[in-house]
Structure 1
């Protein structure tokens, strides 16, 4: 499937002279799309999850409200159209270092626990994405335990 967003990814990352702003925008979208996958994993979209996702994007990328809303809408559209996660995962793997990927997995865990319950579909999706991001299982578990500890030991 080759839609407008994928074409944008390709142009922004591969065109000669692509600047840091273009790369950054593309990585913002890839990150937002992977987080969107966690929001959608349990087939319910809780307003608290949307607020948490919005807050994560604002904090991670220092964006204003309008830009975050645009990014969330674009990420939602793209994940609805995507056949798989490959285009997002590939971009993150190519441009994030290992620590950034572990931090992204930790954000996924935070999203999953926003509603105080870990759905099996959320956990499965995070596990799958962590594997595709080449995050070691030990770091996957440590990220989960850090989030649980901050939330007061939520089980799951």
Structure 2
């Protein structure tokens, strides 16, 4: 993952049992993967940023400060290499299948936030869905559901 984001999350994810709210730790890992979707096409538009901020603050109950810090770190490291293992493994370990499929649906929401699905965004979501062990059928179902909204 991006070096700065990895460092940001490492403090929280290193020992989730010491974090007062374990759910928050898992949601931070989820937020990292969602950031990867908006960065996939090397163009982060205002609509995508607004959708991501809304998801992070409302769906995952992150403070405005935490959301802004995450977004700032992501913007600073746009060109960096990606390593999803730490976040994917945490999510796979603690999220059931339905929660992982819902995460893929959220990824599609971000990809369609600017009304332009880039092939790089689709590729990134497909790769993450595979790593999260979400079936191809549910991957497509989520895409069609979001596209029809």
TM value normalised by structure 1: 0.80
Following superposition of structure 1 onto structure 2, how do residues 95-114 of structure 1 map, counting pairs within 5 Å?
Answer: 95-114=94-113
In structure 2, relative to structure 1, the CA distance for the partners of 1:43 and 1:4 (3 Å cut) is closer
Equivalent pair of 2:105/2:143 in contact (CA under 8 Å): yes
Following superposition of structure 1 onto structure 2, how do residues 9-20 of structure 1 map, counting pairs within 5 Å?
Answer: 9=12, 11-13=14-16, 18-20=18-20
Match of 2:32 in 1: 33
Deviations 1:5-64 (A, max 9, x none): 464255323xxx53551x333222211110111110011010110000000111211233
Q: Which runs of 5+ in 2 are unaligned?
A: none
Match of 1:154 in 2: none
Q: RMSD over aligned Cα, in angstroms?
A: 2.5
Shift of 1:74: 4.7
Larger radius of gyration: 1
May I ask how many residue pairs the two structures share in their alignment?
A: 146
Following superposition of structure 1 onto structure 2, how do residues 48-59 of structure 1 map, counting pairs within 5 Å?
Answer: 48-59=47-58
Distance in structure 1 (CA, Å) of the matches to 2:141 and 2:133: 15
Higher relative contact order (CA 8 A, sep 6+): 2
